[in-house]
Amino acid sequence: MSLAILDGGTFYHHAAIHGGRYRELFDKTIYAPELTTEALAGVTFLIVPDRINPNVLRARRDVLIDFAKAGHTLVVFGENRADTWLPGVTWAARPTNFWWWLDKDARPPNRLLAPDHELFQAVPFENTIWHFHGVLTPPAGARVLIDVPADPEGRDSGGALLYEDRVTLPGRMLVSTLDPFYHHGSNFMPAATKLLDGFLPWAREKALRPGRGGI
């Protein structure tokens, strides 16, 4: 019954995970190259932050998959190439538009498809909106929580930025393209900090009381 997070060893993982703002929320911090099944003993909710070296994750994919197979919750953020190690994940790169918000009339393409999902009681949808790195195609039976329509330049037919998969493995997997740990830990984007302000306490609550909210 505990919340664990992988630490990729970058400065922004250090700031986000070991910094004062959130560190009390984590029962266990596991340096990603040291991830083992034993390290996950007692863990019910595991966060894989954005931008962990995918070579490390691929080398430990069995540990991660076994964790989800055991019925636990696995949350995987973006820029991890989860499509190369996590079952059910299909990802397509899309050139990142960092500048969508500079035009005052511009509206972000992000769409909230599951406003009733419990996550959004903790994380207001607007705190999930910034540039994004590619789109996900969820497996059949997964629930898309946030998506974007087809790329206006025709490079993809759209896809999910966040989905929940309870069908591929016995556990629950939340998969996202967003990279809040990088942006929060870099002192650079307030929306990312707001997302973590809502998400991490929610994750802790879910880890400690997995019976509530339908996990």
Partner 1 sequence: MKPGLAFSFGYDDGSLHALTSARTEAEVLLRDVYSLPEIDLDDFSVLFVSMHSDQRFLASRAPQIEEYLAGGGVVVANGHYAYPYLPRMAGFHTIDNYRLSDITVLRVAEHPIWHGIDPHDLTFRRGVSGFYGRVWHDAPADAQIIHALGKPDLPLDFIYPVRRGRVLFHGGNDLWSFGGDDKQLAPRIMQWVAEGRDVQ
Range 153-178 burial, b when 16+ CB lie within 10 A, else e = eeeeeebbbbbbbbebbebbbbbbbb
Are 104 and 165 a contacting pair, CB within 8 Å?
no
Q: How many residues interact with partner 1 (rule CB under 8 A)?
A: 24
Judged by CB under 8 A, the residue of 42, 121, 170, 188 near partner 1 is 188
The single residue among 187, 209, 212, 213 that binds partner 1, judged by CB under 8 A, is 187
Q: Is 88 in the site for partner 1 (CB under 8 A)?
A: no
Binding mask of the shown chain, residues 18 to 37, with x at each position contacting partner 1 by CB under 8 A: -------------x-x----
CB contact at 8 A, 24 and 69: no
Return the DSSP state at 107. -
Stretch that binds partner 1, among 52-60, 108-116, 142-150, 193-201 (CB under 8 A): 52-60
Q: Quick check: helix, strand or coil at residue 136?
A: strand
Smallest distance from partner 1 to CB 121, Å: 28
Q: Which among 3-11, 40-48, 118-126, 196-204 is the span making contact with partner 1, rule CB under 8 A?
A: 3-11
